[in-house]
Amino acid sequence: MRGRMWGLALYVFVLGFILNLLGIVSHVVVSSFAKRWFGTPFPRSLTTEWYSYAWKEFGLAQVLGVTIFVSLTVVVLALLMGFPAAYILARRNFRWKPVLLLLYFLPLLIPQMTYGIPLATTMFRYGIGGSVTGVILAKLDGSAKGGMVFAIQEDLGLPVRYVGLGESSTDLALFDRERFVDGLLAVEGAPPGPLAG
């Protein structure tokens, strides 16, 4: 009976792991094609603009090359360390073996960051887990020109309180709605809009 329970627990764990992995991968794939995905179960529209933009602006070919190299290195190192560790855990019994196995599998049970933002959005929308009185946009500079401000206002109805215009905490500024819109509509060379006067 006890062996049957352990077998069932193992199958449930493997199934949970596979579903978790499929959820993460599918969320990343759908997010990469979403034009805007905020507050709905599925994006309202899909696009491939991000891929062409990323290929040109971020040197995606080099990024992918480095990613593949790092991935292969990690796989080789994991195999070199994983086979001996798996052999020891499978063939040897010692006092703290269940605790060690739990520590090994624990990171797989914690939800990934790709679930964090949709989960927080859903919790906010249904009033679970407290209230939100405003948003701090951590990084407003760049080519997007702060289009997320409109999405936050339209989908969540939250005011933007502060904006980040650089890399450190001293680069936070009060958000000024009028100057932000003026900055979006201004000609090139105009002063940045999101700063407070």
Q: What is the pLDDT of residue 123?
A: 72
Gap between the Cα atoms of 73 and 7, Å rounded = 33
Q: Which of 130 and 39 is assigned the larger pLDDT? A: 39
Window from 37-46, 53-62, 69-78, 111-120 with minimum mean pLDDT: 111-120
Gap between the Cα atoms of 154 and 176, Å rounded = 17
Q: What is the pLDDT of residue 19?
A: 92
Listed by start position, the domains of the chain span: 132-185
**Quick one: average pLDDT of 166-192?**
72
pLDDT digits (tens, 9 = 90+) for 69-115: 999 999 999 899 888 888 888 888 888 888 888 887 777 666 655 56
* Range with the largest mean pLDDT of 25-39, 120-134, 144-158: 25-39
Burial classification of residue 163, based on how many CB atoms lie within 10 Å of its CB (0-12 exposed, 13-18 middle, 19 or more buried): buried
